[in-house]
C-alpha cells in the first residue's frame, strides 16, 4: 500500500452566487487545485455532491464534472454520503492512490443550495435520514440536533449559552477570511438572542444555505512531498437516534476517530489543529468530545472557556467552520481538508496556528449516521 | 497491488414487489452473497443506487444499508454514476481490496423504480443528462437513444428490424430464468408491432420499470480462489450527443473496453461470455461494436443472424439482459457481474455457455456518458 500526499488544494468563496452553476463552481475549485499543485495530469476524478438530485435534478456528476474541467473521458464518479460526502470522497481518492491504480487523483466537492426555496433545502438536508421512518414525521435535521442539544443540557447540566459559544468561536476565526461566507464576528449575545430555529437551537447556531466547491489533488507520497495523508477513515451508525445506545455518544465519530488514530499512530494530544462538523453548535460539541478532545459532557464548557480558540489548547475550525466559513454540504469535507493543508503549510496568515504539524478533519452526515476522519501530517 | 476475487454473489428476483422497500431488497441480495461465499465478515460496504433521491427522497444509502444488513458502524458509501452505478461501484470495491485497505468488501446495488408513476421514473432516468442543457428540452433517455437508432439506420443501412432483434435475442435467453423479470420468449414480430415509444424505438425494445438488488462479495485472490477480477475500468464521455465527434461511436465504451483488455491482457476473441447494456436495443448494438465484438455498422445485422445467441460466436446477455432479465438501474451492473460469475462457475444450467472461462460485463449511464467494464476469469 502506497503512502498518499496532498499535492494541491483549491476552493471557491462560499456564498450565494446566483449567477453561477454547479459546473462553474466545481471547475474553479478543480482548476485552482491543479494550479496550486503545478500539475495538469489527472488519472481519476471523484465528485462529492449531496443534494444535486433534490435541488438541480442533476445526477451523474462524475462524467459531468470531468467534462466541465475539460477532461471528458476521465474515469469519474460521484460519491454521496449525505453531509459527509466530501470527507468520504477524500477517503475513496486516498484508496485509489494507495492501491497503485491511480497516480493523480482529483477529489472535488460541490453544492449549490441557493437554487431553490429554503423548504426544498430543508427537505434535502433530511435526505440521509430514513424517509419511511424519521423524515416521514416531518422532523428536520436541525430538529434532530435540537433533541441532542436538549438532552445534553439535561444530562450534563450545560447551559444553552455554553453550547452557543461554538458559533461565536467559529465566527472569531472567520474574521477577514477571504473565502468565508460570514467573515465577521458574532457575539454570544447575538447568538443567544437570535430567533429560535428548533428549540433550544437558535438561528445563529446553524450553518446557512451556501454554494461552494472545494478540491484536492492527491498523488503518491514519493512524488509530492509536503503534506502526507497519515490516516483516512469512515464509519457509520444507526440512522435513528432512538436506535442508538446513547444518543449523546456519536459512535460513528468515535469509530472513525479511533481507527484514524491507530492508522496514523498518534493520539488526540498529538493533533495540533482540528476541523469538526458544526452545522449546529451541538454537533460541534459532540464531535469534539467523541474525537477524544474533551471529556463527555465537558465539551461545551471548554468551548465557552476558550479551549478551541487559535491560542487555546485545541485550535478548532480555524477559518470559521461550517457556521462562519460556510457549509455547501457536499463540498464541506473538502474545505476542511484544504484548510488543514493551508495551516500545515504555514500559509494561514492571520489565522495561522503556530507550529501546526498534524491536523485532523472530521465530516459528518445527519446527526452522525456517517463520519469521515482524515489526519494530515507535514513531512 | 493485490489481485481481487469474487467470493460470493446474490440477487433478488427482478420485478415489481410493491410490498418491499429498498432496505429489504438490498438485504436479501447482500445476505445471499454472504451465504454464497460462506463468509460473514465485511470490512467495507459500497451501495450502488441511481434514483433514490428522485423516487424515495432517500440519500445516504451507505449508512442506511450497513444498518439494514445488521452491520451498523461499517464503513459504507453510496456510489452514483447514473445507470452505470452498479458497475462503477464494483470498480470502487475492487480498488478497496487491491489497495490492501480492506479484505472483505461487499458491493451491492439496489433500485426501486415502481414506487412512483412512470413520469417520475422517466425524469429520473434523464437525471444524468445535463439538466440545464439537454434534459431542459424535455427529451427522454429513450428519445436520445432514438436519435442514435435513426442515425445508425441512416449511416449503415441497417433496418429497424435488425436492431429490434436485440430484444428478441435477450428474451430467448431469459426463458425459465428464475430471477428474470420477463422469463419468456418475445418474437421479432411482437417487438416490431409493439407501440412506438420514441420513433423508431418501439416499446418492446426498451427495458421496463423494475425493482431489484444484486450484490457481490470481494476479497483478495489469495483467500478465495475461483473467480478472479482480471480487469475493472471506468471511462466517461461528453454528456451531450452534439458534443461528440461521432455520436455512433461511444467513446466511453471504447476507452473502458480498451483499458480493460490491456489490464487483463486479453483480446475480444478471448472473451467467452458477455453482458452489455441494452436498455434500448440500439444501446446494445453500439456497445457490442465499441467493445470490439463487431465491426462498426455491422452489429445489428450480426445480432439478427444469431451471432449473440448461446451457441453463437459471442454469447451475450445470457440471462436476458436489461430488456428481459430486467433493469433495476442502480443494481443492473451488479446483476451482470453476478450472472458472469454463474457462467464462469459452470452453474448456469440450461443457460450455460460451454467452456466459459473469461467473461466481460459492461454497464453504461445515459447514452454513454459513463461506462464501466469488468473482465472476470475462472482460475
Cell digits for A217? 489533488
Tens-digit pLDDT profile for residues A313-329 = 999 999 999 999 999 99
DSSP string, B120-175: HHHHHHTTTS-TTTTGGGT--HHHHHHHHHHHHHHHH---HHHHHHHHHHHHHHHT
Between B1, B79, B131, which is nearest A77 by CB? B79
Tens-digit pLDDT profile for residues A254-300 = 999 999 999 999 999 999 999 999 999 999 999 999 999 999 999 99
Return the residue of A nearest to B89 by Cα.
A77
Tens-digit pLDDT profile for residues B189-239 = 999 999 999 999 999 999 999 999 999 999 999 998 799 999 999 999 999
- Cα separation values, B113 from B66, B108, B267, Å: 21, 17, 37
Mutate to test the interface with A, among B53, B93, B115 (most CBs of A within 10 A): B53
Instruction: Given CATH 3.40.47.10, say whether it is the number of domain A4-117+207-374.
Output: yes
Strands B44-48 and B105-112: parallel
Does the distance separating the beta carbons of A123 and B99 come in below 8 Å? no
Q: Directed axis angle between helix B85-98 and helix A85-98, to 10°? A: 60
CB of B359 closer than 8 Å to CB of B272:
yes
Contacts of B32 by beta carbon, 8 Å cutoff, 6+ apart: B9, B10, B11, B215
Quote the pTM value: 0.98
Residues from chain A that touch B81, judged by Cβ atoms under 8 A, are: 60, 62-63, 76-78
Per-residue pLDDT averaged across A25-43, rounded?
A: 97
Q: Per DSSP, what are the bridge partners of residue A47?
A: A78, A108
CA distance A173 to chain B (A): 31
Inform me whether the C-beta atom of residue A175 falls under 8 Å from chain B C-beta atoms. no
pLDDT value for B41? 95
Residues from chain B that touch A124, judged by Cβ atoms under 8 A, are: 59
pLDDT value for A159? 96
Q: Where are the domains of chain A?
A: 4-117+207-374
**Alpha-carbon distance B215 to B324, whole Å?**
19
CB of B11 closer than 8 Å to CB of B179:
yes
Strands A370-378 and B4-11: unpaired
Tens-digit pLDDT profile for residues B7-64 = 999 999 999 999 999 999 999 999 999 999 999 999 999 999 999 999 999 999 999 9
Tens-digit pLDDT profile for residues B133-192 = 999 999 999 999 999 999 999 999 999 999 999 999 999 999 999 999 999 999 999 999
DSSP string, B231-294: EEEEEE--SSGGGSS-TTS-HHHHHHHHHHHHHHT--GGG--EEE---SBHHHHHHHHHHTTSS
Degrees to nearest 5, angle at CA B130 with B128 and B132 = 140
- If contacts are CB pairs under 8 Å, which of residues 195-234 in chain A contact chain B? 233-234
- If contacts are CB pairs under 8 Å, which of residues 301-360 in chain A contact chain B? none
Residue B1: pLDDT band (50, 70, 90) is: confident
Residues from chain B that touch A239, judged by Cβ atoms under 8 A, are: 60, 63-64, 67
**Alpha-carbon distance B359 to B134, whole Å?**
35
- Three-class SS state of B6: strand
Residues from chain A that touch B251, judged by Cβ atoms under 8 A, are: 72-73
**CA A80 from centre of chain:** 14
Question: What is the ipTM for the molecules in this complex?
Answer: 0.97
Between B62, B131, B135, which is nearest A236 by CB? B62
Least confident piece of the model among A125-129, B96-100, B192-196: B96-100
Return the residue of B nearest to A369 by Cα.
B63
Cell digits for B234? 471506468
**Alpha-carbon distance B110 to B79, whole Å?**
11
Does the distance separating the beta carbons of B96 and A98 come in below 8 Å? no
pLDDT value for B82? 98
Q: Kindly compute the dihedral angle of the four CA atoms of residues B159, B163, B169, B170, in this order, to the nearest 10 degrees.
A: -160
Between A64, A101, A243, which is nearest B130 by CB? A64
Residues from chain B that touch A54, judged by Cβ atoms under 8 A, are: 53, 57, 59
Residue A338: pLDDT band (50, 70, 90) is: very high
Least confident piece of the model among A114-118, A338-342, B342-346, B354-358: A114-118
Residues from chain A that touch B103, judged by Cβ atoms under 8 A, are: none
**Alpha-carbon distance B83 to B364, whole Å?**
6
pLDDT value for B223? 93
pLDDT value for A73? 97
Please tell me which residue, B335 or A225, carries the higher pLDDT value: B335
- If contacts are CB pairs under 8 Å, which of residues 48-67 in chain A contact chain B? 50-51, 53-54, 56-60, 62-64, 66-67
Residues from chain A that touch B51, judged by Cβ atoms under 8 A, are: 53, 59
Return the residue of B nearest to A256 by Cα.
B75
pLDDT value for A321? 98
Q: Residue A291: in which H helix or E strand, if any?
A: none
**Alpha-carbon distance A155 to A142, whole Å?**
20
Average per-residue pLDDT for chain B:
97
CA distance B97 to chain A (A): 8
Strands B370-378 and B358-365: antiparallel
Return the residue of B nearest to A70 by Cα.
B238
pLDDT value for A1? 79
Inform me whether the C-beta atom of residue A290 falls under 8 Å from chain B C-beta atoms. no
- If contacts are CB pairs under 8 Å, which of residues 236-265 in chain B contact chain A? 236-239, 243, 251-252, 255
DSSP string, A164-192: HHHHHHHHHHHTT-TT-SS-S---HHHHH
pLDDT value for A224? 86
CA distance B303 to chain A (A): 28
Residue A225: pLDDT band (50, 70, 90) is: confident
**Alpha-carbon distance A170 to A175, whole Å?**
9
Tens-digit pLDDT profile for residues A69-106 = 999 999 999 999 999 999 999 999 999 999 899 999 99
pLDDT value for B225? 79
Amino acid at each position: 500500500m502506497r503512502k498518499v500526499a496532498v499535492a494541491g488544494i483549491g476552493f471557491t468563496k462560499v456564498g450565494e452566487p446566483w449567477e453561477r452553476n454547479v459546473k462553474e463552481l466545481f471547475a474553479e475549485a478543480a482548476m485552482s487545485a491543479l494550479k496550486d499543485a503545478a500539475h495538469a495530469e489527472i488519472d481519476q476524478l471523484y465528485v462529492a455532491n449531496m443534494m444535486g438530485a433534490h435541488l438541480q435534478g442533476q445526477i451523474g456528476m462524475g462524467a459531468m464534472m470531468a467534462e466541465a474541467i475539460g477532461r471528458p473521458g476521465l474515469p469519474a464518479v460521484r460519491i454521496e454520503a449525505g453531509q459527509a460526502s466530501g470527507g468520504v470522497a477524500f477517503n475513496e481518492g486516498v484508496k485509489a492512490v494507495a492501491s497503485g491504480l491511480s497516480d493523480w487523483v482529483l477529489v472535488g466537492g460541490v453544492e449549490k443550495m441557493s437554487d431553490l426555496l429554503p423548504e426544498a433545502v430543508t427537505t434535502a438536508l433530511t435526505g440521509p435520514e430514513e424517509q419511511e421512518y424519521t423524515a416521514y414525521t416531518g422532523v428536520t435535521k436541525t430538529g434532530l440536533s435540537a433533541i441532542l442539544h436538549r438532552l445534553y443540557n439535561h444530562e450534563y447540566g450545560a447551559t444553552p449559552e455554553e453550547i452557543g459559544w461554538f458559533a461565536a468561536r467559529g465566527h472569531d476565526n472567520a474574521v477577514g477570511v477571504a473565502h468565508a461566507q460570514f467573515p465577521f464576528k458574532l457575539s454570544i449575545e447575538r447568538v443567544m438572542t437570535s430567533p429560535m430555529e428548533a428549540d433550544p437551537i437558535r438561528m445563529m447556531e446553524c450553518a446557512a444555505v451556501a454554494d461552494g466547491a472545494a478540491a484536492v489533488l492527491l498523488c503518491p507520497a514519493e512524488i509530492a512531498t509536503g503534506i502526507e495523508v497519515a490516516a483516512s477513515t469512515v464509519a457509520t451508525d444507526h440512522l435513528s437516534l432512538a436506535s442508538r445506545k446513547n444518543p449523546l455518544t456519536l459512535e460513528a465519530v468515535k469509530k472513525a476517530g479511533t481507527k484514524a488514530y491507530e492508522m496514523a499512530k498518534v493520539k488526540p494530544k498529538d493533533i495540533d489543529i482540528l476541523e469538526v462538523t458544526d452545522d449546529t453548535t451541538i454537533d460541534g460539541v459532540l464531535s469534539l468530545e467523541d474525537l477524544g478532545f474533551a471529556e463527555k459532557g465537558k465539551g461545551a464548557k471548554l468551548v465557552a472557556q476558550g479551549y478551541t480558540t487559535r491560542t487555546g489548547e485545541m485550535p478548532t475550525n480555524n477559518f470559521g467552520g461550517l457556521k462562519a466559513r460556510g457549509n455547501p454540504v457536499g463540498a464541506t469535507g473538502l474545505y476542511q481538508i484544504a484548510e488543514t493543508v493551508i495551516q500545515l503549510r504555514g500559509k494561514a496568515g492571520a489565522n495561522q496556528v503556530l507550529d501546526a504539524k498534524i491536523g485532523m478533519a472530521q465530516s459528518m452526515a445527519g446527526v452522525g449516521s456517517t463520519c469521515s476522519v482524515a489526519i494530515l501530517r507535514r513531512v
